[in-house]
Structures are given as structure tokens and as C-alpha cells.
Structure 1
Amino acid sequence: MDQHRVPVLLGIPLAVLGGLAVAGQGRINGALGARLDDGLAAAAISFGSGLILILAVSLASPSGRSGLRAIGPALKARKFPRWYVMAGAVGAFLVLTQGLTVAVIGIALFTVALVTGQSLSGLLVDRLGISPAGKKPITGIRVISAVLTIAAVIWAVSPRFAQAEDASHWLFPVLLPLAAGFLMSFQQAMNGMQSLHYGTPLAATVMNFAVGAVILLLAWLVKVWISGVGNPLPGEWWYYLGGALGCFFICLSAWLVRGLGVLLTGLGMIAGQLLGSLALDLIVPTPGTVIAPATWLGTLLTLLAMVLATLPWPRKPLR
């Protein structure tokens, strides 16, 4: 089998697994930000620990060391636009957005905004062909699947909308996760292209975390200079798992987009995020958690949208 192709029956379950990691990372980073009273510090810790972990794994692996050695020559030969290395800035923005907005607009509005942006940009990125999967036409079924996904997520989180305050309170903050979701598809495409030319997603993940960690560290230092540090670091080990989950998600998505394309990878991960969030709310609920029939049915509808996008429908593009 071509090493750059990912069978749909394998790729979609893996994308869902990656989405589960995103849900877990969001819960952990949110809890760490609340404990520190500093969402920026939580984001920096997540990226810093992720960078240390992925560097250790890469140095311990022959393919990882080979990928790290390939970074310089690939950039020098301009095998892809050099600004692709800034994919880590998108990850940093996403993690920072979690800490800045979830407490203001609630997890329901955050999820809807993130998924809306991700679904729309998945269509655009596939059409532009900036991922290793190349150009994929905007067909009717792909549009239907994206729209159905957005509707399903809104339905799934609708029981929590009642907790939101008036529109003037959340209208501006909701633009941040909307922008983060829109940029996520570009991040996946850029990481996938780097992974192709480095020969392994490990090297692309190292670059992603290195760039994001530097950006977040500089931002945190500015914050400390202005307003000082937050609370002391917690002693519980699980607060520091966000970086490991981020490594898993970014490395996996960089590999998956090479065969599935950005839209299918994104839809699978959206389904995983909903399933993971539902599982977390059932097992370790947070204050204000609401699980209603709409939560279950909206999650099932998201899975249906993902299945529709994978079926061999006619490929005639929309004009």
C-alpha cells in the first residue's frame, strides 16, 4: 500500500480517536487555567511539556532522528512555502482561546463556534489543494455533510445555551473560537505537507510545538511583566497531560490529511470531540453540565454526517 494513502475504514476511526484527545486536552487545559488563574500560563505549560515529549520521542526513534535532519534541507530547498512552519501559531492560538473564552461564553458556544469554523475551512482547504491529498472538489454531498455537522453540534449543545448570557456579553468573545476553528484546517494541511517532506509526522509535530511554545512563552513573559504571575503550580500529575494529548492529536492529523484530506479528517475529529466531551460529562461532570436527549441525538447526527461524507457518492463538483 502507498505509504501516503490512508484507507477510509482505518483513517476515520483514527480521526475520531484524535478528536477524543482534543476533548481531553481542552478539559485538562481548562482545569489547569482555572487552577492557576492564568489561561496563558496553562497554554504555555501545555505546549512546553508537549515539545519536551515529542523531542524525546523523535530523538529515541530512527525515523524521528531522520525527520529532524530533514527539516533544514527541506526548508532550504523550499519544498513547501516556508510560512508553513508557522502552523504551530494556530495551535497556540487555539489553546490560548480555550483559556480566554470558555469561562466567558461557556463550552456550548465555544464548541459551536469552533466546529463552524473548522467545517467551513475544511471545504476551502481541500478545494485549494494545499494539503498532501491535493485538490478535492466541493461536491454537493461534501457541503451537505459540513452543514449537517454544524447543525448536529448546535443540537447536541443546545441544552446548555440557556446558561449563556445576553448576546452583548458573548458576541465578541465567540469570534475567537470561530477564527481558531477556521484556522485549524489550514494547520492540519500545513502540518501534513511538512510531514510529507520530512518523511515523518514526528518532525512536523516538533516544529509545530517549537513555534507554538516560543510564541506562548513570549506572550506569558509580557503578561507577567504587566500583571505578575498567577497561582502556584498544582501537584496533581494529570494537570500536565495536555501537552501529551496535543502531541498525539497533531501528529495523527498530520498523517491522516495525507490520504483522507482535510474535510474528512476534520469531520472525524469533530465527531471524536463530541463523543469525548459527552463521555467526560458523564464520568467527570463539571458544574453546570447538562446531558439531555438532544445531546445524544445531536452526537449521533454528527456521526451520520461523517458517514455520509465517506460514501462513494457522485463526484461531480458544484459550479
Structure 2
Amino acid sequence: MNTNDLRIFEAVALHSSFTRAAEAMFTVQSNVTARIRSLEEEFGTSLFERNAKKVALTPAGEVLMQYAKEITHLLDEAKREVKNIDVLTGSLKIGCIETTMALRVPTILHDFGAAYPHVELEFKSAMRPELVQDVLDYKLDAAFVSGPISISGLTQEIIHEEQLVILAHRKAASLSSELSRHAIPKIVVFDQGCVFRERLESLLSAKGIVQYRPIVVNSIEGIINFVEAGLGISILPEQIVSSYYAAREIKTFPLSKSLGTMTTVLISRSNRRSSKLMQVFIDMYKNQSKHSNVEQSI
């Protein structure tokens, strides 16, 4: 077995076809077939189920796929670091939730790009469940999510804490009055899987409110617009509101420490060592967060 055999194996699994895998790997189908047969002989088991319609991984193939992804990733990382030992280069794919994208990413992209022009920094915004799965599947190097996280295969590093607040329209006298304004309260939230939605629904549950009507939007700006129009209440980090929406017709209400404190952690694969590139990124991100929090307190 050699590393190219594993890349061919991954290509067959990705495309569910020996023919398309051969095209993707710039080789002929007979070579792909021979390399897969060689792997199956070496491991003493079938790696693919073959029929007229498709090619699919067997349970043994699923196990090997996890190792193949890890080996391929480690080899690519080793090549980058050895080749450019004196120059920080390569790429990082980082995931984050919507509010992190809005509050932190623009500055870190600017600062990191200026300091390390040979590094390609890519961000993806999504809900926590999708980000977690992407890290596990090696689609992301790491992701900022709400913690704590206790998932096999992942490690976490605490990055910072932030305070969440309830949002209502400017004329709201109190949170209680706002919740009692309608027989069925309305909440303005992201889709299922959003940590802010989970916190808001926990608050309603604690107050004995089991019936409410969610208005689902897909952006922070949308949440602000709907709340400002008096269409419902929502929840966001206080820093987002004070930094970007202080002049809007909205009012904030504090939360208890248990519901109002959100810890952000950086998750990555536990079977991966932290690369120099990743550590430099984490240090810069932490420094940026620290300076941002100091500015907010002045």
C-alpha cells in the first residue's frame, strides 16, 4: 500500500464510481480497479459493495475512510511545514457561527492577511451541528462554537466568554410585559441548531411558556429589523448590539448568569497535533478578542 492507493480509495468513495474516480485522479479505470483490489487483498476484506447502479463503502470501508482522511491530511500538512519551514504558509479553513462571523472575522482576516500574506484563511458560517460534523470530517481545520463540547474525537480550547441579552422593541416596558402582550408570544430566531435560539427557548420554558411562535430569519440584520418592528423578541450577544445597533429602535434586557453567559471554544480533531500555523492564528484571535473587550469597557 502507498499513499496514492489511499487517495484513489477516497476518490472512489467520493464519486461512488470507479470510472469517475479514474477521471478525477487522471488515470485509467483499470488502474483504479487494480489498486482497490490490492487494498482489499492487503486488508483481507471487501471495501466496496459493487452493483450495477452504484459503488458504496462497506462497514470495513467506512472504518478505513476515517484513517485515510487522517493520513492524507497529515501528509499534506507535513509537506507544507517541511517545505516552508522558514515562512508561514499554507491554508486554514475555520468555521464559526453567524455572530462570530460578523463581530470577529473581518478584523482577523485583515490583520492576519497583512501579517502572513502567504497564508490562505477561509471562513465558513453555519450552525453548530454542521460545524462540528465538518471538523470531524476534515472539511474544516477548526471551528468556533458555543461550549462546552463533549464529543469523541474532538478537543476544545476556551477562547472567550460573552454576555447575551434579550432584545425587544424600544417601547417595551419590561420583558414580562412583552411576553404577556400576546396570548402566544413571538420570537425572532435563527433556524434549529442555533445556540441563541436554544437559550431563548430555555428562558421561555423556565417561565412556563410552552406555546410561542418562532419567526425564522437567516441574518443578524433580519433579527434586528423584525425586533425593531415589534414583531417579537430575540437574543444576541450584547457586544453585537452595542457595537453595531446601538442607534436602532430596540431595547435590551439582561439575562441570568446561567442563561446569559456563552463560552466560545475552538474545536479541532483530537488526533491532530496543533500546527504552527494554527497556533499563530489562535494567538492572534485571542489578542484581538482581548483588545476588543478592553475597548468595550472604556
Structure-2-length-normalised TM-score:
0.25
Counting strand residues as a fraction of each chain, which structure ranks higher?
A: 2
* Higher RCO by CA contacts (8 Å cutoff, separation 6 or greater): 1
Larger Cα-atom Rg: 2
